[in-house]
Amino acid sequence: MLSERQSMILNAIVDDYIRSAEPVGSRSISKRGDVAFSPATIRNEMADLEELGFLEQPHTSAGRIPSNKGYRYYVDHLAPLNPLKAEDLKLFKQLAAENLNAVEEVIQHAGTILATMTNYTSILLGPEMFNTSLRHFQLLPLSETTAVAIIVTSTGEVENKTVTIPEGVSASDMEVMANLLNAKLAGVPMHKLKARLYSEIGQEIQRHADHYEKLMQLLDDALAAGKDQKVFLSGTTNMLIQPEFKDIGKLKTVLDLLEETPTLTRLLNSEHKGIQVRIGSENVHQAFVNCSLITATYSLEGESFGTIGILGPTRMEYAKVIGTLDLLSRAMSRALTGRYGA
């Protein structure tokens, strides 16, 4: 599609612009050394590249900046595989070395590392329901009318929910039920729990107790605990140091969205495995038009488990971020499989 030379020039422009955040002109490209043509020649090519939609010009007498299409070409064809620096690798080692017992600690820590290394905002999604199973269930009365339901998953996540005890249900009823659930449903994948509750436990309860309706309602409610994926953010304030967000209005749009956990979950989840890059308007959400979101999935024993992502301006260090995400997602998969694999 693009000639060799056009590619080189596009590459040089994106590269320069990522570094400087300033429109780049033909002169500076010519002086870089890797494109040994005169400014005039480069100008001609730049005009072509603009016509093709890879570049934009803020105004007639300014240099060019990459368009979304330009960035897209850059990441698809040009972005160099970026070997990480030694100091960065050190941080990874920490992740493996530190004695992090809980999955959530691993995720949280990985998020911090990501944000620190890249100077962008990291967004990590915890385990999906699909890939954990029930380890233990407990129903503990708190008062006459309320009880707390506790669910422990196969990965050691503990979720809880306070529920209202229906009229006429006794503490011993609840104990019986909890025991029943543990006996029948331990090891069942979380996303199948509700279905199994009705198919397997329903009859049993009918046999044991009078308040079938109420009890099922209670259990149904209790099992809702831990249904939503958790979101871990780190480095949100890194957004502030990006020159593209010196405009507080734009900044607020993005930061506001970062507070909306459900929306974030939706935006980060995708069937796509591996690395995914969404540039500017490729993001569905309006608030992210000036941003790029790069995500990777991590897994437990080969099963996709959660997502890690980096949010930054479209003028983002793609090579570095992609490299980092790739390595970190692998490191997380290893760390998790090492601990919770069969």
Partner DNA sequence: GTTTAGCACTCATTTGAATAGAGTGCTAAC
Partner DNA sequence: GTTAGCACTCTATTCAAATGAGTGCTAAAC
Binds its own copies by CB under 8 A, chosen from 43, 69, 136, 214: 136
**Part in contact with DNA (CB under 7 A); list of ranges 16-24, 80-88, 246-254, 327-335:** 16-24
To the nearest whole angstrom, how small is the minimum distance from the Cβ of residue 320 to DNA? 24
Which of the listed partners (DNA, its own copies, none) does 64 bind, with a CB threshold of 5 to 8 Å by partner kind? DNA
Residue 63 interacting with DNA (CB under 7 A) = yes
Q: Does residue number 31 form part of the binding site for DNA (CB under 7 A)? A: no
The binder of its own copies chosen from 3, 20, 38, 162 (CB under 8 A)? 162
CB-wise, 129 or 255, nearer to its own copies?
Answer: 255
Least distance to DNA from the beta carbon of 284, Å? 31
289 binds, among its own copies, DNA, none (CB under 5 to 8 A by kind): none
Is residue 183 part of the contact set for its own copies (CB under 8 A)?
A: no
Nearer to DNA, 10 or 201 (CB): 10
Q: What is the SS3 string spanning the chain?
A: CCCHHHHHHHHHHHHHHHHHCCCECHHHHHHHCCCCCCHHHHHHHHHHHHHHCCEECCCCCCCEEECHHHHHHHHHHHCCCCCCCHHHHHHHHHHHHCCCCCHHHHHHHHHHHHHHHHCCEEEEECCCHHHCEEEEEEEEECCCCEEEEEEEECCCCEEEEEEECCCCCCHHHHHHHHHHHHHHHCCCEHHHHHHHHHHHHHHHHHHHCCCHHHHHHHHHHHCCCCCCCCEEEECHHHHHHCHHHCCHHHHHHHHHHHHCHHHHHHHHCCCCCCCEEEEHHHCCCHHHCCEEEEEEEEEECCEEEEEEEEEEECCCCHHHHHHHHHHHHHHHHHHHHHHHCC
Q: Which of 21, 62, 140, 142 binds DNA (CB under 7 A)?
A: 62
Should residue 256 be labelled a site residue for its own copies when binding is judged by CB under 8 A? yes
Among 14, 150, 181, 215, binds its own copies (CB under 8 A): 150
Q: Does 24 bind DNA (CB under 7 A)?
A: yes
Q: Which residues bind its own copies (CB under 8 A)?
A: 99, 101-102, 105, 135-136, 138, 140, 142-143, 146, 148, 150, 152, 156, 158, 160-164, 236-237, 240-241, 246, 248, 251-252, 255-256, 259, 339-340
Q: Which residues bind DNA (CB under 7 A)?
A: 22-28, 37-41, 43-44, 46-47, 50, 57-64
